[in-house]
A = this chain, B = another copy of it.
């Protein structure tokens, strides 16, 4: 095919976003009678994806007549600060679709309903150091806690998805991501669905109001025991969230609640598994000011590790909160300058950060340290094409 036809069928698009970023993570010693140490681990860097995730993609739509259309979307994450990642994969999205009045059938790798909701109802769109703490917590495993390793939280491969057509103000989708596990028949071992994703979303928007709820079930694998006794066992992480925005014109309000449950199969009747929960909420606001917009959010997450009081003392569950404030100055529809500051406070052993930067220092003078707070700021430029 010639150049002319190619031009009409493929759109090349992307984002190149670079920012100066500084993150400082403070750990403190917590031994009751030991020395009171405080160690700060900090790093300055030229980062990518402060305002929008850097990417390069190819997409196109073909009109098949009769209201039908076929389309594709291949989108790669790129790291433009160091050039290390080019178009080596299309893990952001790689789909082929058939659409019509019935809606859209979409095959391939894509975002989950869970994260579509979280991006939509976060003033920072889950990007940069200001992004919601809920996603960071859901994606981070907590060693020894029974929580974590949820590889299909944000995106899933091998999905068959159906998207509703716009029905009045309703929108939504259901998704099934195949586990692609080999089955043996007959088989003595129990079959596993690790890697499977089942999810969906239903939303409604009218005028300035928008609300959507999502649900997802991700089949995971976790390990009990250690060394030679380590056994990989199946688990499930189930996530529900609900978000809403209301645009008053002078300001747009954001709110979201989220609850994840990590269910692990009991190894046997003597060691029953206990579900571990992670709940979170977010409140946010954006205020347009001329060609710019101020963004602010407060998010909080809390784990429920089924802890029991020790010697009568309440053994409180970890929790963390985050405050983020930023300003975006649009030079055009495609290009913007931006700055963001964010701070995360950890309690009872939580170890979350603003989503970037170095690890917390864990020891000082042979004294163990515990994550305390993470402070970051960044300013940069975002250019889309």
Q: Are A62 and B334 in contact (CB under 8 A)?
A: yes
Q: Is the interface of A mostly helix, strand, loop or mixed?
A: strand
CB within 8 Å of B: which A31-76 residues: 39-46, 56, 58, 60, 62, 64-65, 68, 70-72, 74, 76
Using known A-B contacts A46-B108, A180-B45, A181-B43, determine if residue A70 contacts B12 with beta carbons closer than 8 Å: no
Contact present for B18 and A7 (CB under 8 Å): no
A381 touches B76 (CB 8 A): no
Is B81 a contact partner of A182 (Cβ separation < 8 A)? Answer: no
Binary B-proximity of A127-142 (CB < 8 A = 1, otherwise 0): 0000000000000000
User: Is A385 among interface residues, defined by CB-CB distance under 8 A?
Assistant: yes
Contact B45 A82 (CB under 8 A): no
- Total identical chains: 3
Q: Known contacts being A86-B90, A107-B46, is A20 close to B62, with CB within 8 Å?
A: no
Which of A155-163, A240-248, A255-263, A311-319 sits within the interface?
A155-163
A107 proximity list for chain B (CB < 8 A): 18, 46, 81, 380-381
B10 x A3 contact (CB < 8 A): yes
A44 to B87 Cα, complex, angstroms: 28
Q: Does chain B have a CB within 8 A of A271?
A: no
Check A13 for interface membership: any CB of B closer than 8 A: yes
Contacts of A56 in B (CB 8 A): 58, 74
Q: Which residues of B contact A9 (CB under 8 A)?
A: 3, 334, 385
A385→B41 CA distance, assembly (Å): 47
**Residue A101 CB within 8 A of the other chain:** no
CB distance from A23 to the nearest CB of B (A): 10
Say whether A205 faces chain B, with CB atoms less than 8 Å apart.
no
Q: Complex Cα distance A65/B87, Å?
A: 31
Jot down 9 A-B pairs with beta carbons below 8 A, ordered by A.
Answer: A3-B11, A14-B58, A40-B185, A60-B385, A72-B385, A82-B109, A83-B91, A83-B94, A96-B381
